[in-house]
Amino acid sequence: MNNIAITFENKKNNVLSIYFTAGYPKLTDTIKILEILQDAGADMVEIGMPFSDPLADGPVIQNSSTVALKNGMSIQELFDQLHGMRTKITMPVILMGYYNPVFKYGVENFCKSAAKVGIDGLIIPDLPIDEYLANKPIFDKYGLCNILLITPQTTDERIKQIDNIASGFIYAVSSYATTGSGKALNLSAQYFEKLKNTAFNNPVMIGFGIKDKATFDNACQYANGAIIGTEFIKLLEKYGADKTKITEFIKGVKGNDQ
Amino acid sequence: MTDKGNKDYMADEKGFYGQFGGAYIPEMLYHNVEQLRQQYKPIIESASFQQEFKKLLKDYVGRPSPLYYAQRLSEIYKTNVYLKREDLNHTGSHKVNNTIGQILLAKAMGKKRIIAETGAGQHGVATATVCALMGLECVVHMGEIDVKRQMPNVLRMKMLGAQVIPSMSGSRTLKDAGNEALRDWINNPEDTFYLIGSVVGPHPYPDMVARFQSVISEEIKWQLKEKTNSELPNYVIACIGGGSNAMGAFYNFLNDTSVKLIAVEAAGKGVNTDETAASIAKGSVGIIQGAKTYLMQTNDGQIIEAYSISAGLDYPGIGPQHAHLYNIGRTQIMDATDHEALEAAFELTRVEGIIPALESSHALAALKKLKFEKSDVVVVNISGRGDKDMDTYIANMDKYCQK
């Protein structure tokens, strides 16, 4: 069974996933941050593969990508860094990034390298459904889940289609916004109710606009868990890969649910 | 404006031209793009739309734009050079053909807020103009570097009532303005229409913009028929950044395979330097702003910043239809450096009394590099006028002006 499925099997609620950009703030921080997050109690992580033109991201994550690229991060460098991570990291690790670098690396090549270092799933937001389905045999061959996004504007029919072909979990974007825009959650009550009342095949994680215990707890009432990205990048921007600060942050979000 | 039944050159239902095109967009944009895809053809093919579009092109834009026999230029190149005068359109370039079309579409779709990206500012001005005409709110994203080098157009947009937002991300030029416009659209999906300025972006934009610009080649055909008794030239030459003026100039000649279609990329300081915008000469297949096409990228798939003296050609990608037409051999790709474009600009100014835009000067620069027969008919698309480039021309005047 895939590592992501096992996580949701063992824990149905309050699953906390953290997003951070590979090679940020320093090139060599990737593994260090992974280890700190696991020790602090994060349930899974999404490692962002930096891209020059991140369409769906707001200024905070854009900036982290720019810095990471300047630091020398690349897909090859990331695979080199992740080599051997499974001796220490047991939680699910997902790679998230835009399609062009994956396409350039070669989809099969990419999946092969990802599986080899122990990656469990992929989030490629700009991979169209048709091209995803065309490549699905490759993703399946290497045991990689494909997490697909839905938004408040995704029609019921399309949600059903996405739920049928996605694996791992459904990434429910909490509002129509780029990452870190801060306007999430205000407009979402109705949408969250809909998420709660829809019978999904996959677990659902809410992302965009989750930044602290209150927003995390709120999102967890309607889904299996939630994802924090921008707020965590802001912390890294301020303190670097600081074990104490990161641990404080994760424990603060999770509260008593350790 | 129909596809003339030729499937080899046109987009399929999902927006693919061969392997190029499509809609590589995050789910946050899906609803908007899908809504547009479903509505654009029925609306723009309707009789009422066509009637209003044609009326505005005639009475407001001033179409048809002249097809001018450039006698002295023809003598220099020992052939017959015709200039398609898109520079004489209202707002000074071909961009307005597309903005008139899209603003009518936006209105028909009930959108209230118009956003656009711009490089040289020509598309921004053309968008701000039609927004003023229709009384719609207008927000233009423009790279911070372009804001500085194209100040007259920035001020024009402001005078027309548009809000100009400098794009501070990435290279702060055209591609980044496009990224910011897409982000704006993600954040404002209900009432906003994204008015793209070229044959780029996710389907249906490349097809839609090509249709609106196709009026250029439609006119060239009947104008040539009047002047030469044949509607077919030997060559059509146009500059290409994203490729909207070239697509418009080529569109109605695609099936006429005797007509050589030549697209001229901006080589910047040379295709063998790192400072270039020659997306085909230097590029490889990938995804940029929602479309699969040729683009300049690193081995790691990071998009490379383009360079050209002309802000309108300063783009690391190319429209997917152009990628396809090049790939199947229907078009020929050439390039012109900053230096060659400047030479061509000063030459046209001195022999014909026409100051062209720096973009169009790249097309003119191809005249020197091609071997023509004396009887050939060569159409060069003058996509815009040079007023906006006066700072650059003034800075280079001593070097390029003969007494």
A103–B301 CB contact, under 8 Å: yes
Residue B6 domain flag: no
Which of A75, A131, A150 lies at the smallest CB-CB distance from B27? A150
Q: Does A96 touch chain B (CB under 8 A)?
A: no
How distant is the Cα of B393 from the closest Cα of chain A, in angstroms?
32
Q: H or E segment at B304?
A: none
The residue from B74, B86, B95, B343 that is catalytic is B95
Q: Walk me through the domains of chain A, giving residue ranges and CATH numbers.
A: 3-252 (3.20.20.70)
The residue from A35, A39, A53, A57 that is catalytic is A57
CB B79 within 8 A of CB B378: yes
Q: Does B175 touch chain A (CB under 8 A)?
A: yes
CB B85 within 8 A of CB B67: yes
Classify burial at B51, counting beta carbons within 10 Å of its beta carbon; exposed 0-12, middle 13-18, buried 19 or more: exposed
Q: What is the number of structural domains in chain B?
A: 2
Q: How far apart are CA B272 and CA B289, in angstroms?
A: 25
Q: What 8-state DSSP symbol labels residue B378? A: E
Residues of chain A with pLDDT under 70: 176-177, 179-187, 257-258
B287–A75 CB contact, under 8 Å: no
Residues of A in contact with B283 (CB under 8 A): none
Q: What is the pLDDT of residue A190?
A: 83
Buried-state track B57-73, b at ≥16 Cβ within 10 A, e below 16: beeebebbbbbbebeeb
Q: What is the pLDDT of residue B185?
A: 94
A52–B287 CB contact, under 8 Å: no
Whether the per-residue pLDDT at B4 is higher than 80: the answer is no
A149–B26 CB contact, under 8 Å: yes
B286–A103 CB contact, under 8 Å: yes
Q: Does A127 touch chain B (CB under 8 A)?
A: yes
* Region for A143 from its dihedrals, namely left if φ exceeds 0, alpha if ψ lies in -120 to 50, beta otherwise: left
Place of tokens 């690193």: B298
How distant is the Cα of A78 from the closest Cα of chain B, in angstroms?
11
Residue B277 domain flag: yes
Whether the per-residue pLDDT at B29 is higher than 70: the answer is yes
Last residue of a domain, one of B182, B209, B236: B209
Q: Are residues B322 and B194 in the same domain?
A: no
CB B186 within 8 A of CB A178: yes
Residue B251 domain flag: yes
Size of interface A-B (CB pairs under 8 A): 108
Q: How far apart are CA B315 and CA B317, in angstroms?
A: 6
A59–B300 CB contact, under 8 Å: no
Q: Are residues B35 and B72 in the same domain?
A: no
Strands A204-207 and A170-173: what pairing? parallel
How distant is the Cα of A152 from the closest Cα of chain B, in angstroms?
9
Residue B366 domain flag: yes
In this structure, what token pair is assigned to residue B97?
């053909």
Q: In a 3-state reduction of DSSP, which class is residue B377?
A: strand
Q: How far apart are CA A91 and CA A83, in angstroms?
A: 15
A237 is catalytic: no
Residue B81 domain flag: yes
The crossing angle, in degrees rounded to 10, of helices A107-117 and A75-82 is 20
Q: Closest residue of A to B293, CA-based?
A: A100
CB B358 within 8 A of CB B345: yes
A176–B303 CB contact, under 8 Å: no
How distant is the Cα of A221 from the closest Cα of chain B, in angstroms?
23
**pLDDT tens-digit series, residues B305-337:** 899 999 889 889 999 999 999 999 999 999 999
Q: Does B165 touch chain A (CB under 8 A)?
A: no
Q: How far apart are CA A121 and CA A101, in angstroms?
A: 16
Residues of B in contact with A158 (CB under 8 A): 30
Q: Are residues B186 and B219 in the same domain?
A: no
Q: How far apart are CA A72 and CA A74, in angstroms?
A: 6
Q: Are residues B235 and B304 in the same domain?
A: yes
Average confidence (pLDDT) over B294-314: 93
Q: Are residues B106 and B142 in the same domain?
A: yes
Place of tokens 């040079």: B386
Share of chain B above pLDDT 70, in %: 98
Q: Are residues B153 and B221 in the same domain?
A: no
In this structure, what token pair is assigned to residue A252?
């603060």
CB B21 within 8 A of CB B15: yes
Which of A59, A173, A177 lies at the smallest CB-CB distance from B27? A173
* Distance from the Cα of residue B139 to its chain's centroid: 20
Q: Are residues B141 and B195 in the same domain?
A: yes
Last residue of a domain, one of B209, B238, B255: B209
B27–A128 CB contact, under 8 Å: no
Q: Are residues B87 and B102 in the same domain?
A: no
Residue B1 domain flag: no
Residues of A in contact with B29 (CB under 8 A): 55
Q: Are residues B142 and B172 in the same domain?
A: yes
Residue type, B306: A
Q: Does A247 touch chain B (CB under 8 A)?
A: no
Q: What 8-state DSSP symbol labels residue B57? A: I
Residue B50 domain flag: yes
Q: What is the pLDDT of residue A85?
A: 97
Q: How far apart are CA B20 and CA B7, in angstroms?
A: 14
B187–A130 CB contact, under 8 Å: no
Q: What is the pLDDT of residue B237?
A: 98
Q: What is the pLDDT of residue B1?
A: 47
| Alpha-carbon torsion (B389, B395, B396, B402), positive or negative | positive
The CATH number covering residue B252 comes to: 3.40.50.1100
**pLDDT tens-digit series, residues B364-385:** 999 999 999 999 999 999 999 9
Residues of A in contact with B31 (CB under 8 A): 151, 153-155
Residues of B in contact with A58 (CB under 8 A): 183
Last residue of a domain, one of B209, B230, B254: B209
Q: Are residues B195 and B66 in the same domain?
A: no
Write the DSSP string, chain A. Answer: --HHHHHHHH--S-EEEEEEETT-SSTTHHHHHHHHHHHHT-SEEEEE---S--TT--HHHHHHHHHHHHHT--HHHHHHHHTTGGGT--S-EEEE--HHHHHHH-HHHHHHHHHHHT--EEE-TT--HHHHHHHHHHHHHTT-EE-EEE-TTS-HHHHHHHHHH--S-EEEESSSS-TT-S-TTTS-HHHHHHHHHS--SS-EEEESS--SHHHHHHHHTTSSEEEE-HHHHHHHHHH-S-HHHHHHHHHHHHTT--
Residues of B in contact with A127 (CB under 8 A): 24
**Domain that residue B117 falls in:** 28-57+95-209
A157 is catalytic: no
B302–A150 CB contact, under 8 Å: no
Q: Are residues B268 and B312 in the same domain?
A: yes
Q: Does B288 touch chain A (CB under 8 A)?
A: yes
Nearest 5°: CA angle at A178, between A161 and A130?
Answer: 30
Closest of B290, B363, B266, B273 to residue B27, by C-alpha = B290
Residue B10 domain flag: no
Bond before B66 cis per omega within 30 degrees: no
CB A110 within 8 A of CB A142: no
Which of A56, A128, A154 lies at the smallest CB-CB distance from B186? A56
Average confidence (pLDDT) over B100-104: 98
Whether the per-residue pLDDT at B141 is higher than 90: the answer is yes
How distant is the Cα of A50 from the closest Cα of chain B, in angstroms?
9
| Alpha-carbon radius of gyration of chain B | 19
A103–B303 CB contact, under 8 Å: no
Residues of A in contact with B24 (CB under 8 A): 99, 126-128, 131
Residues of B in contact with A74 (CB under 8 A): 300, 302
Q: Are residues B294 and B231 in the same domain?
A: yes
In this structure, what token pair is assigned to residue A258?
């350790």
Q: What is the pLDDT of residue B3?
A: 47
Buried-state track A176-185, b at ≥16 Cβ within 10 A, e below 16: bbbbbbeebb
- B164's CB contacts (< 8 A; 6+ apart) are B124, B140, B142, B147, B154, B157, B158
Q: What is the pLDDT of residue A182?
A: 57
Q: Does B299 touch chain A (CB under 8 A)?
A: yes
